[in-house]
C-alpha cells in the first residue's frame, strides 16, 4: 500500500501530469468564481480533451479543475450573496454580511485556508477509508436517503431566517416546485401549464441566479452603494491574516466539519447538496454564543467551507470502489474512468491502486495550490467590495443572464430568472428566507424517488422503524426544537434590551437572510403561497397515487405552516396599520421601506432587455443594456459607458461564444444580417 501511495505521488509530479494539474486548477478557479458555471460545466468541456491522454494526466486535468470549484465559488457567495455552486449556499449567510461590513478579505482568508484543509482532509480520509467503507455505503438505502434529505431541509429551514415557520414553509414551496414536470413513478406531467419548457422540471441555475443574484444586484443599483456599507478607512479587523488566524482559533470546528463533509459526501446523490447545511447547523448548535450567526460570524464561513471541500474526496469513494457516482460531477468522472479503460471496483483497490492514489494526491495538491493562488489574488478581489455599485451591476447582470442561458439555451431560462428575481425580491423584503427553496428544489426529485422506492419495498411506512431512520428523525426533532428555542430566546433578549432602538443592530437584522420585518409585504406573499398550496393540492388529487403522493404531502404541510404565518403576519400588519393611522399610510410606508418603486423600474430595464433580445439578439441586447444603464441610471459619461459595453461584448464573443460554443437565441436580426456582412467579417461577431 505504501508503495502504491508513493507511486501515485510520483506519477502526479511527472510531466505533463503536473502541467495539466496546474491548468485544471486555473480553469477551476475561474469556473467556480463565475455565477452559473461551476465544476459540472468544466467537466463537460474538458472531458473530450482527455481522449487519447494517459490516465494520470487526464485525471490531473479533470480533478484539478473539479476539486477547486468549491473553493473559488466562495468569491460569489461572499462578494455578491450569490451561491457560486449548490455547495456554497450556507456560506452566504455570514460571508455576505462580512463583505457588507468591509471584511471580505477576512472571510476569504478563513474560507481559502479551511477549504485547503477540508480538501486535504477529505483526500486523506479517502485513502484511509477505501478498504473499510462497504458497510457504511450499504447501510444507506432509499429510506435513509429520504430521511437524510428531510434533515437537510429541516436544518436550512430552521437556521436560515428569523422565523422557523417561514423557513419550513419555503422548504415546502421548494419541494412543490421540484414536482413540476413528469412524475418520478409515471410519465404524467405535473404543473407544466401546457408548456414544453416545464416538462423537464424547473431548471435550477436560472432559479438560483434569479432568486439570489437579482435582488442583491438591485440593492446596489437602487441604493447606489458599494457592496461594503462601511467606508474602507473605517473597517477594522477585516484583513486576510485575521481570517487565517480565525481558522486556527476554531480548528476543532474545522476538523469536525471536514469529517462531516467527507462522510456525508459518500452518500450517492445527496451528499454535496446538504453537506454545507449540515455543517452550518452543527456550527450553530454546538456554539455557546449563537447571536452573531447570520450577521457576519466567521464560524458561519469556516463550517460550510471545510465541509464542502471535503466532499470531493468523500464523493469519489463510492465512484471508485463501487461504480456508484455520488453526484452528477462524479458521474462524469465515472465516464472518464471507463474512457481510460479502468473498471470501478476491486481492481481500483488492488492492481490499479496507484491510479486511485494518484487521484487522492491530485485532490490534495489542487486544493493547496488553489488556496495559495486565491490567497494571493483575493486581496485584490476584496477591493471590489468598495467599488461603486453602479460599476458592478451591468457586469454581474451579464454573467447572471448568460449563466441562466447555459442551463438550456431557451428564452424560458431568462423568463425563469427574471420571475424568480421578482420572487426573491419580495421574499427578501418580506423576511422570507430564500435558501430553503433552493435546497428543496435540488433535493425534491431525489427524495421523491427514494420515497417511492421505500414505500414499494416495505409495503408502506414500515421503513420508518429502521435504526438509522429513527436516529435521523430524532436529529430532525432536536434541530427544530433547538432552533425554535434559540429564536425565541433571541427575540426575548431583543425585547429586554430594546435592540430595536439601536439603528445599527436593527439594520443588521434587516440585512440578514430572512430577517426583514415588513408585514405588509410578507402578508400578501403568504396569502399567495397559501392559495398556491391549496390549488396545487386540489390539482394533484386527479393524478394516480404514485404521482400525487409527494405533491400532496408538500402542499398539505406547506398550507398548514403558512396558515400560522398568516396569523402572525396579520397580527403584525394590524399593528402597523394602527401605528400609521390607517391602511393607506401603512402600505405607503411599507412600499417606501422596500423601495418598490425603484425596484419596479429596475425590473422594467431587465424585462425590456429580454424583449429587445428577441429582436436583435443577445450580443447586442446585453451590451445595449450595459450602456443605457450606465448612462441613464449610473450617470456616467458616454466614453465610460461605451467602453464598459464593449468589454461586455468582447466577453460574450471571446468566452461564451468561442470557448463555450454557446447556442444563441435565433433573433429576427440573425435571419438577415449574416447575408449582408462582407466575407471577411465572421457572423459570430454579431449573432
Q: What is the 3-state secondary structure (H, E, C) of 108-141?
A: HHHHHHHHHHHHHHHHHHHHHHHHHCHHHHHCCC
pLDDT of residue 501: 46
pLDDT of residue 274: 75
pLDDT band at 505 (very low <50, low <70, confident <90, very high): low
Q: Answer with the residue of higher pLDDT: 86 or 342.
A: 342
User: What is the separation of C-alpha 304 from the centre of its chain, rounded to a whole number of angstroms?
Assistant: 12
Residue 123 pLDDT exceeds 80: no
d(CA 110, CA 243): 4
Q: Are 161 and 431 in contact, with CB atoms under 8 Å apart?
A: yes
pLDDT of residue 270: 60
Instruction: Identify the bridge partners of residue 182 per DSSP, sorted by sequence position.
Output: 189
pLDDT of residue 491: 58
pLDDT tens digits, residue range 527-564? Answer: 999 999 999 999 999 888 888 888 999 999 999 999 99
d(CA 298, CA 463): 39
pLDDT band at 492 (very low <50, low <70, confident <90, very high): low
pLDDT of residue 594: 86
Residue 489 pLDDT exceeds 80: no
> Which of 34-48, 196-210, 464-478, 635-649 is the least confident region?
34-48
d(CA 95, CA 104): 7
> Which of 132-136, 297-301, 413-417, 526-530 is the least confident region?
132-136
Residue 447 pLDDT exceeds 60: yes
3-state secondary structure of 356: helix
In sequence order, what E strands does 222-367 have? none
Q: Are 171 and 437 in contact, with CB atoms under 8 Å apart?
A: yes
Indicate whether this model's pTM tops 0.95: no
If you average pLDDT over each of 126-130, 223-227, 566-570, which comes out highest?
A: 566-570
3-state secondary structure 528-585: HHHHHHHHHHHHHCCCCHHHHHHHHHHHHHHHHHHHHHHHHHHHHHHHHHHHCCCHHH
pLDDT band at 36 (very low <50, low <70, confident <90, very high): low
Q: Are 214 and 434 in contact, with CB atoms under 8 Å apart?
A: no
Residue 509 pLDDT exceeds 80: no
pLDDT tens digits, residue range 146-162? Answer: 888 888 788 777 776 67
Residue 345 pLDDT exceeds 70: no
pLDDT of residue 142: 82
C-alpha cell at 152: 437537510
**Percent of the chain residues past pLDDT 90, beyond the cut:** 25
The helix or strand, by DSSP H or E, that contains position 493, with its residue range, turns out to be helix 467-497
Mean of pLDDT values over 246-259? 90
Q: Answer with the residue of higher pLDDT: 77 or 334.
A: 77
Residue 343 pLDDT exceeds 90: no
Q: Where are the domains of the chain?
A: 2-517, 596-685
d(CA 335, CA 340): 9
> Which of 136-140, 245-249, 255-259, 440-444 is the least confident region?
136-140
Residue 76 pLDDT exceeds 90: no
- Mean model confidence pLDDT for the chain: 83
Residues 6+ apart with CB under 8 A from 194: none
Residue 498 pLDDT exceeds 50: no
Mean of pLDDT values over 301-306? 88
Buried b / exposed e across 178-200, counting CB within 10 Å, b at 16+?
A: bbbbbbbbeeebbbbeeeebbee
Residue 571 pLDDT exceeds 80: yes
Q: Which residue has the cell 488556496?
A: 371
pLDDT of residue 510: 61
d(CA 165, CA 562): 7
Q: C-alpha angle 122/127/128, rounded to 5°?
A: 95
Mean of pLDDT values over 134-155? 76
Q: Answer with the residue of higher pLDDT: 32 or 657.
A: 657
> Which of 176-180, 239-243, 326-330, 627-631 is the least confident region?
326-330
Amino acid at each position: 500500500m505504501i508503495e502504491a501511495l508513493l507511486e501515485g505521488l510520483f506519477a502526479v509530479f511527472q510531466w505533463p501530469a503536473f502541467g495539466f494539474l496546474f491548468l485544471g486548477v486555473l480553469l477551476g478557479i475561474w469556473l467556480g468564481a463565475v455565477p452559473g458555471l461551476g465544476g459540472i460545466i468544466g467537466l463537460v468541456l474538458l472531458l473530450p480533451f482527455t481522449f487519447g491522454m494517459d490516465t494520470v494526466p487526464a485525471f490531473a486535468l479533470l480533478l484539478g479543475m473539479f476539486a477547486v470549484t468549491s473553493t473559488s465559488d466562495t468569491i460569489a457567495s461572499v462578494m455578491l450573496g450569490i451561491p457560486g455552486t449548490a455547495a456554497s449556499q450556507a456560506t452566504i449567510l455570514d460571508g455576505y454580511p462580512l463583505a457588507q461590513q468591509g471584511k471580505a478579505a477576512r472571510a476569504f482568508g478563513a474560507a481559502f485556508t479551511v477549504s485547503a484543509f477540508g480538501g486535504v482532509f477529505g483526500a486523506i480520509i479517502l485513502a484511509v477509508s477505501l478498504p473499510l467503507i462497504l458497510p457504511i455505503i450499504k447501510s444507506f438505502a432509499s429510506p435513509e436517503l429520504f430521511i437524510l434529505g428531510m434533515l437537510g431541509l429541516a436544518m436550512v429551514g430552521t437556521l436560515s431566517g428569523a422565523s422557523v415557520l417561514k423557513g419550513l414553509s419555503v422548504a415546502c414551496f421548494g419541494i412543490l416546485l421540484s414536482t413540476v414536470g413528469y412524475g418520478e413513478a409515471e410519465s404524467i406531467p405535473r404543473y407544466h401549464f401546457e408548456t414544453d419548457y416545464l416538462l423537464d422540471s424547473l431548471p435550477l441555475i436560472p432559479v438560483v441566479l434569479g432568486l439570489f443574484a437579482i435582488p442583491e444586484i438591485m440593492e446596489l443599483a437602487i441604493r447606489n452603494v458599494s457592496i461594503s456599507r462601511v467606508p474602507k478607512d473605517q473597517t477594522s479587523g477585516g484583513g486576510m491574516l485575521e481570517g487565517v488566524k480565525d481558522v486556527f482559533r476554531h480548528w476543532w470546528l474545522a476538523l469536525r466539519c471536514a469529517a462531516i463533509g467527507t462522510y456525508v459526501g459518500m452518500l450517492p446523490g445527496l451528499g454535496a447538496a446538504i453537506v454545507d447545511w449540515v455543517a452550518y447547523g452543527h456550527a450553530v448548535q454546538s456554539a455557546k454564543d449563537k447571536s452573531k450567526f447570520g450577521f457576519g460570524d466567521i464560524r458561519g464561513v469556516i463550517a460550510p467551507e471545510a465541509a464542502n471541500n471535503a466532499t470531493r474526496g468523500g464523493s469519489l469513494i463510492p465512484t471508485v470502489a463501487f461504480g456508484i457516482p455520488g453526484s452528477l460531477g462524479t458521474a462524469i468522472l465515472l465516464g472518464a474512468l471507463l474512457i481510460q479503460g479502468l473498471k470501478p471496483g476491486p481492481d481500483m483497490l488492488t492492481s490499479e491502486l496507484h491510479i486511485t492514489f494518484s487521484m487522492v494526491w491530485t485532490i490534495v495538491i489542487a486544493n493547496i495550490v488553489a488556496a495559495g493562488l486565491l490567497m494571493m489574488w483575493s486581496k485584490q478581489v476584496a477591493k471590489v467590495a468598495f467599488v461603486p455599485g453602479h460599476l458592478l451591476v451591468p457586469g454581474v447582470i451579464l454573467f447572471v443572464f448568460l449563466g441562466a442561458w447555459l442551463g438550456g439555451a431557451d428564452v424560458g431560462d431568462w423568463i425563469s430568472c427574471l420571475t424568480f428575481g421578482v420572487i426573491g425580491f419580495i421574499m427578501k423584503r418580506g423576511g422570507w428566507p430564500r435558501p430553503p427553496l433552493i435546497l428543496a428544489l435540488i433535493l425534491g426529485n431525489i427524495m421523491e424517488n427514494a420515497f417511492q422506492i421505500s414505500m414499494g419495498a416495505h409495503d408502506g411506512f414500515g421503513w420508518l422503524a429502521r435504526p438509522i431512520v429513527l436516529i435521523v428523525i430524532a436529529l430532525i426533532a432536536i434541530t427544530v426544537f433547538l432552533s425554535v428555542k434559540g429564536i425565541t430566546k433571541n427575540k426575548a433578549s431583543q425585547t429586554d434590551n430594546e435592540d430595536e432602538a439601536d439603528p445599527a443592530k436593527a439594520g443588521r437584522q434587516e440585512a440578514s437572510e430572512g430577517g426583514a420585518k415588513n408585514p405588509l409585504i410578507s402578508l400578501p406573499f403568504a396569502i399567495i403561497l397559501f392559495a398556491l398550496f391549496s390549488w396545487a393540492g386540489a390539482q394533484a388529487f386527479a393524478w394516480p397515487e404514485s404521482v400525487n403522493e409527494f405533491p400532496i404531502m408538500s402542499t398539505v404541510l406547506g398550507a398548514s405552516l403558512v396558515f400560522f404565518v398568516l396569523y402572525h403576519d396579520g397580527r403584525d400588519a394590524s399593528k402597523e396599520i394602527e401605528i400609521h393611522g390607517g391602511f393607506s399610510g401603512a402600505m405607503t410606508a411599507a412600499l417606501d421601506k422596500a423601495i418598490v418603486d425603484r425596484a419596479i423600474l429596475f425590473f422594467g430595464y431587465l424585462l425590456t432587455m429580454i424583449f429587445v433580445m428577441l429582436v436583435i439578439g443577445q450580443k447586442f441586447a446585453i451590451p445595449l443594456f450595459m450602456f443605457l444603464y450606465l448612462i441613464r441610471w449610473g450617470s456616467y459619461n458616454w466614453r465610460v459607458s461605451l467602453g464598459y459595453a464593449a468589454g461586455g461584448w468582447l466577453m460574450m464573443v471571446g468566452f461564451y461564444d468561442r470557448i463555450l460554443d454557446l447556442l444563441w437565441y435565433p433573433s429576427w436580426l440573425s435571419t438577415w444580417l449574416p447575408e449582408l456582412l462582407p466575407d471577411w467579417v465572421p457572423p459570430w461577431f454579431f449573432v
